[in-house]
Every structure is written in structure tokens, then in C-alpha cells.
Structure 1
Amino acid sequence: MATSRFLRYVESRKNLTGGAAGLAGLALTFTGLAGAYWPVVVAGLYGAGALLAPPERPDAPPFTDPSEQLDELRGDFEQLMAYLGEVDLPPAAAGRLAELTETLAALLEPGWVTDALAVDPEAVHTLSRAVRQDIPESVDTFVRTRWWTRLQPGTEPPERHLERQLTVLHDEAHALATALREAESRRQETHTRYLEDRGKH
């Protein structure tokens, strides 16, 4: 650890700049300008150079590109659909879930839609949360709660909570799709104005 730290300092900007300043001090020594205090001059110039050197800039962490995140998310969505295909849901919840997954599938379809998503990290996060957390948790909780309800009848039917949860998630996905559509509409209107203004000149 100490050796690697030493090697990093040897290659650092501070050491290289200080070394260059120290060499300038040696040059002054050889010309006789530093006099008898040449060690102090060399050390002082080295220290000044090290202090004036720009700080080291660590490399930014290589986070996954949004488009790569969407590629991974498509694979997770396929796994989610396979899981949902094995779950027996009441008709109302199944219908709401079908609407939700249809919207998510459209948003994850490769092409211009995902190109628009890739520049909106918050949208990617919303989709990722729905696919990887919200939907599987809602369905799994329903399955487990339904089993207990059969043992203790008379409690509130768990499918009501599932339907409400899926409705909220569907509204989120629909709002995301609407925002993307409105962004494209604004882009089209902007281009129209640009062409009209260009034609006036």
C-alpha cells in the first residue's frame, strides 16, 4: 500500500512540477546565483512548484450509459413477463396488468422511443423501478396475502389492493408516455417555426 502510494506521488503533477522547479534551482546554483544557500533555494523552489501544481483529477466512475441500461431493462422485462405468465390473477387485476405491461413494452421497444428515453435519466429510473421492483412486489404480495386470506376468510380481498396498485403504476407509465409524446410535439412545433421564420428571410 505504501509503495503504491509512493509511486502515485512520483508520477503526480505535484512531484513533476516541483521537480521542474527544483531543476531550475539547480540551474541557478550552477550559474552561481544561488550561492551558499543553494540547498534551501532548490528545496524552496521544489515546494513552491508542488504547491502551485494543479490538483490531481481522479477519473470519473464509468457508470452505465442510459441506452445500455435500457438494454438490460428489456432483458429484465422479459423475465418479468415470464414470471407473470405463471401467476393466476383475478380477471380485473389481470386486465389492468395487461394494460400496464402493454404500455411498458411500447416504451421499451427499440427505436426512437428509447432514444428519447435515453436522454431522460428520471424516465429510465421510473421504468426500471416499475419493472424490477413495483410490479413483482405487488404481484408477489398479492399471491402471499391471498393464501392467508383463504385461511382467514372475511378480511378485505387482496385483489382490491392489487388493482389499486396496478392502477397507480399504469397511471405513472401513461404519464411517462404522455410526457414523451408532448416533448416530440414541442420538437415538431419548434422545427415548424424555424422553417417558417427561415422562409421569411
Structure 2
Amino acid sequence: MAISDRLLAYLGSKKNLAGATAGLGGLALTFTGAAGPYWPAVVAGLYGAGALLAPPERVAPPAFPDPATQLGELRRDFTALTAYAAETALPPEAAGRMRALTATLDALLDPRWSADALPRHPEALHALARMIRRDLPESVDAYARARWWSRLSPGADAPESHLDRQLTLLLKEAKGLAAALHAEEDGRQRSHSRYLEDRPGP
């Protein structure tokens, strides 16, 4: 920040305003004759005291995107991911797991439900973003690369087995997220039932 910018920021700060207010009090003492010949020191001292006693400026926190914006971006990334996965020829078993996984993720990101449920669960939102933006693309890309190299070195671990293990773990994680969100909604419904049952009648 340039010196002129810092000066302008200080002129409008709470410290300067408090010091100026206290300094005006010193000028009032000067006009009444109470400050005597030492009025410059009195005014400067009161200004400094006011500036020191003023509360510090509060630094505004950074503005992060709200959950609704994050969900919109995540849905667009998921659309790009499914298009990318469709272009890669997967073995039949892995392709079936991929369909099950993308169907689960698509349901979790359904705007009719996720707009309410996911913002209350930042951990679930983070886990979905990690799966869509890192884990799944890495699994598909690593499989495609390993499949090409396996032709040059037969006998190594089959890339298909690693891909199937990875998709199985990701599907388990996605279903766990769905189960956790369902459990919370079920708990809310049960709580409302108890509230209605316990509420005194007319």
C-alpha cells in the first residue's frame, strides 16, 4: 500500500477520529485559558491519548463463496467428469461400478435436495468435491495410463483390478455420505413427531 493510501486510511480511522475529538477538547481548554502557555503540548497529548485509547480497526474477513455457489460449481464439475469418464473405455465390471457411483453422486447433488442438506454439512460437501475433482478423475486417468504401459510389461498387476478396488471404495464412501444425510433428515422428522406428541393439547 502506498504512503498516500495509508495516510488516507489513517485519516478515516477510529484512532484518528478519537484523537481529533480529544484534541478538540484540548483546544477548548486553551480558549478558556485552562491550558496556559503549554496549550500545544496539552492538545498534542490529548490527541495522542485519544488515539491510543481508541479500539483498533477491525479487519474484514475474506469473502468466500457461499454454499449455493459452491454447489453450482460442483454440479458443473460433475457434468464434466461424467463426460470425461464416458470417453474412457472401462472394463465391464468397473463400468458397472462407475454407473452406480455416478448415479449416487448425481442423487446427492440433486438441486431439489442438496441445496438444503449439503450446506449444513461442510464435511460432506468437501468429501463430494474431493471425489469429483480429484479421486475419480485420478482413478480413471491412472487406469488409462497403466493399461497402456501394461502392454509393454505383461505379468504386472492388472490395471483393471486396481480400478475396480478404487471404484468400490469410492462407491462405499458415497453411499456412506448418503446414509449420513438420510439419518439426519430421519432424525429431524422423528424430532418433529416427538414435539407434536409432547405438545399440550387445547
What is the CA deviation profile of residues 74-107 of structure 1, one whole-angstrom value per residue up to 9, with x for unaligned ones? 0111111111110000011111111111100000
Q: Is the 8 A contact 1:19 1:46 kept in 2?
A: yes
Q: What aligned pairs does 1:1-201 form with structure 2 within 5 A after superposition?
A: 1-199=2-200
Contact 1:116–1:180 (8 Å) recurs in 2: yes
Q: 1:130 is aligned with what amino acid?
A: M
Residues 147-172 of structure 1, C-alpha deviation per residue, up to 9 Å, x if partnerless?
A: 00011111110111111111111111
Quote how far apart the aligned CAs of 1:199 are: 3.2
CA distance in 1, matches of 2:53, 2:123: 41
**Number of residue pairs aligned between Structure 1 and Structure 2:** 201
Q: With structure 1 as the length reference, what TM-score do the two structures score?
A: 0.97
**Corresponding letter in the other structure for 2:110:** E
State the AA in 1 paired with 2:177. L
Structure 1: distance between partners of 2:201 and 2:151: 73
Residue 120 (structure 1) shift = 1.4
Q: Which consecutive unaligned segments of at least 5 residues does structure 2 have? A: none
- Cα displacement string for residues 164-183 of structure 1 (whole angstroms, at most 9, x for unaligned residues): 11111111111110000000
Deviation track 1:12-59 (CA, whole Å, cap 9, x = no partner) reads 111011111100111111111111211111111111111111111122
Q: 1: distance between equivalents of 2:66 and 2:114?
A: 16
Q: Which aligned segments of 4 or more residues in structure 1 are displaced greater than 6 angstroms?
A: none
3-state SS of 1:111 partner = helix
Distance in 2 (alpha carbons) for counterparts of 1:101 and 1:127: 11
CA RMSD of aligned residues (A): 1.1
The structural deviation recorded for 1:200 is: 5.2
**1-side partners of 2:91 and 2:115: how far apart?**
32
Kindly provide the amino acid, as one letter, of the partner of residue 85 in structure 1.
A
1:121 positional shift: 1.2
Tell me the TM-score normalised to structure 2 length: 0.96
The answer to whether the Cα contact below 8 Å between 1:107 and 1:114 also exists between their aligned partners in 2 is no
